[in-house]
Chain A
Amino acid sequence: MFVYLDNSATTRPYREVISEMVKYMETDFGNPSSLHRMGITAEKAVKEARRSVAASLGVKEEEIYFTSGGTEADNMALFGAVQARKRRGNKIIASCIEHPAVLESCRRLEETGFRVEYIPVDRSGIIDMQALESALDDQTILISIMQVNNEVGSIQPIPEIIELKNKFCSAGRSEILFHTDAVQSYGKMPVQAGGTDLLSVSGHKIHGPKGVGALYIRKGLNVKPYLFGGGQERGMRSGTENVPAVAGFGIAAAISQRNMTERIESMRKVKNYLSEGIRWEISDIRENSREDGSPSIWNVSFFGVRGEVLLHTLEQSDIYVSTGSACSSNKRGQSHVLKAMGLADKEIEGAIRFSFSEFNTVEEMDYVLVRLKEAVQKLRKLGSFR
């Protein structure tokens, strides 16, 4: 049985997405900037997709800018926002469990003279609100805090953060922008961009294509571009639009809004079924995800087992999971998220992330439980000799 449980890394594209993309490669392959009919057809596709993504976030079309993905959206938000505000202040606040797209951008900004304060999280992966409050000062120009963490699925208190920020700002101090990386929450819970200034989403995490994402920029906000050329995306992001991917993203965004409640319920049911099964069947574990976390992510550590070995053992049974996050499992380093949550080395070593989509079923979880139990027992037995 093939069971794909790595949906936070990427998802299987919807059939409708694929056929839409084929159309814009096979027949309607025009460049939206061309003056002729072919160009107009392509331009319409991009417009339609923009409308669909805007609707999914409850914002206006002109507030959506297509990018090459979540990473570019995050980069564009951070670099673009601070460039336009560096005379007002030089401090950025981010959580220490952000995606590398945000963290590495912060590191780069630090090299160019900005100060970044990283807000710690508790053992369940929720940011410390008091630390955030005391971090706010009149030098602060930007806060970037993700909505759902990609490794453990913890949901950050975005409304509270916005309230805190607004209170601070209305006390007479200058404006602070708020950016949220919504890549992992988009499509897995209702996401409304209202209240934020900048918000990043990605296509391939919601059964759309890879290589496309979007940044919401609140209307009227001054954000500097950092790609220059033909002036596409109203000058914010030059470069010929990736029409097939953008069109596919539009379809995925539209589908994800239909029956969202049922979709989320189905993921939650599968997640709960698996987590309960594991609690019941396998001892010596630590759950790294909160009960009230994202319905699509469940992270757990199996003591005495190396996550990577367990991953490959499950792979032999055609079950696909992840250790920590797909981006960091290639590197030797430990997950920065689990580390920030204060986990011990042996807890981090055995961590596995199961991430779900609407395509997963309870029957699949029965199969996973059997194979998982066998694998953990076998690896622990072998490990016990060392």
Chain B
Amino acid sequence: MMEERNAFIVRCGEVALKGLNKPYFEKMLVDRIKRVLKKYEGVEIKRQEGLIFVRAPKELDPDLIAGEISRVFGVASVSPAVETESDLEKIGQAAVEYMRRLIEKKGVKTFKVDAKRADKNFPVKSPDIARQIGAKILIGCKVLKVDVHNPDCLLFVDVRKDKSYIFEQKISGFGGLPLGTNGKGLVLLSGGIDSPVAAWMMAKRGMLIEAVHFHSYPYTSERAREKVTELAGIVAGYCGRFKMHIINLLPIQEMIVQNCPEEETTILVRRFMMKIAEKVAQETGCCMLITGENLGQVASQTAEALVVTDQSVQMPVMRPLIAMDKVDIMEIAKNIGTYETSILPYEDCCTVFLPKHPVTKPKLAKILESESKLDVDQLVADAVASRETVAIYPVE
């Protein structure tokens, strides 16, 4: 007899819709689940009949394992389940035990069985399986009653060829695609609410992440840097360890302040950030830039300003939040756990030398004229060369 183990049924969302590439995506997804569960011993992960099955030793808290799995991009949902042999008698026994535990743990009083046979060769049809298992439960657990409309517990019985599964929960995952199936992007991470969400959304579509953070020390404090590192760590909890490049923008801001019109400061700084990020991206194998820009949120994010910013680089710039409302962005930030850190009140470099009346409808020609007063290439090259690169590890 094999040692007793908890089983987890993992359902793939979009991955399952893929055609010829499906095996590749499935393999990548298995790979990602393996990575997050690597720290636990004795875990087995298998692809089987269009699903992924994880088996973990009984000692490991099933809620913890299910939680870890549900955070992997590409997972639609996960169910901690009990595995038995595909034999009605055995399934019945296991179902009774399962319900007894639920009665004890949650005080369940009513139930309904929902059975499915994936193995069409199984001699009993689904509704009959449900009826028979239900009858066994009623005999085994005297306190329980059947309620087909509003049961305390909806018990799923999934009969497959070799093994069958009993479970009640379907813990939703984030969906999306497995990491590493969609290249690598460089996110401009500020420390605000938006950019971590932007990074997370792109990572959810399978993109690996690298980050660049700009600061203006000593105009900003080291606490601001701690804050962005913490935020990055939370994001890394979803997309794995990544690199962050930290760059002091102050030398460039000083040049702008001394040579260019005040109202253009913000937009000029934005363009520099993009140019520097593009160079870093090229050097690190990132194929696109990612920002948390959001149409109309601040002066530098008006349509006109975005156009002028966009024209500072050749590389495609992804703006996953562009048409979202602030409340919806905040909602995601709260869900993924970055919100509380994002709202800590440390100054970021966008607010340093903030002009009193920033230009909201910048003209590219005028901006280019201002830039011509600066040695842009040299300033960008110096900034890129001055970067400090740190590894960001997931925070638990």
Contacts and interface: CB of A to CB of B under 8 A. Distances in A.
B254 A382 contact: yes
A333 B283 CA distance: 42
Contacts of A234: none
A385 B221 contact: no
A386 B257 contact: yes
B218 A315 contact: yes
A308 B353 contact: no
Interface in A342-386: 382, 385-386
B174 interface: no
Contact of A316 (B218, B257, B353): B218
Contact of B219 (A309, A330, A331, A385): A309
Contacts of A308: 221, 347
Give the interface residue-count category, chain B. 10 to 19
Contacts, number: 29
Contact of B221 (A312, A331, A386): A312
A315 B219 CA distance: 11
Contacts of B217: 312, 316
Nearest to A378: B254
A106 B93 CA distance: 65
Contacts of A386: 257, 262, 353, 355
A229 B329 CA distance: 47
A385 B258 contact: yes
Contacts of B262: 385-386
Contacts of A382: 254, 257-258
A87 interface: no
Given A382-B254, A385-B257, A386-B353, A332 B218 contact: no
Contacts of B258: 382, 385
Interface core residue of B217, B218, B257 (most chain A CB under 10 Å): B218
B374 to A, nearest CB: 14
Interface string A309-330: 1011101100000000000001
B344 to A, nearest CB: 9
Contact of A312 (B219, B254, B257, B355): B219
Contacts of A330: 345
Contact of B345 (A309, A311, A315, A331): A331
Give the interface residue-count category, chain A. 10 to 19
A316 B218 CA distance: 8
Nearest to B217: A312
Contacts of B219: 309, 312
A80 B222 CA distance: 40
Contacts of B257: 382, 385-386
A316 B355 CA distance: 26
A312 B218 contact: yes
Interface core residue of B221, B222, B258, B353 (most chain A CB under 10 Å): B221
A332 B347 CA distance: 10
B286 to A, nearest CB: 31
Interface string A283-319: 0000000000000000000000000110111011000
Contacts of A385: 257-258, 262
A332 B353 CA distance: 17
Contacts of B222: 312, 315
Interface string B242-258: 00000000000010011
A369 to B, nearest CB: 19
Nearest to B354: A386
Nearest to A332: B345
A313 B218 contact: yes
Interface string B215-226: 001111110000
Nearest to A331: B345
A332 B220 CA distance: 13
A42 to B, nearest CB: 36
Nearest to A375: B218
A309 B353 contact: no
A372 to B, nearest CB: 13
Contacts of A316: 217-218
Interface of B: 217-222, 254, 257-258, 262, 345, 347, 353, 355
Given A315-B222, A386-B257, 15 more contacts: A308-B347, A309-B218, A309-B219, A312-B217, A312-B219, A312-B221, A313-B218, A316-B218, A330-B345, A331-B345, A332-B345, A382-B257, A385-B262, A386-B353, A386-B355
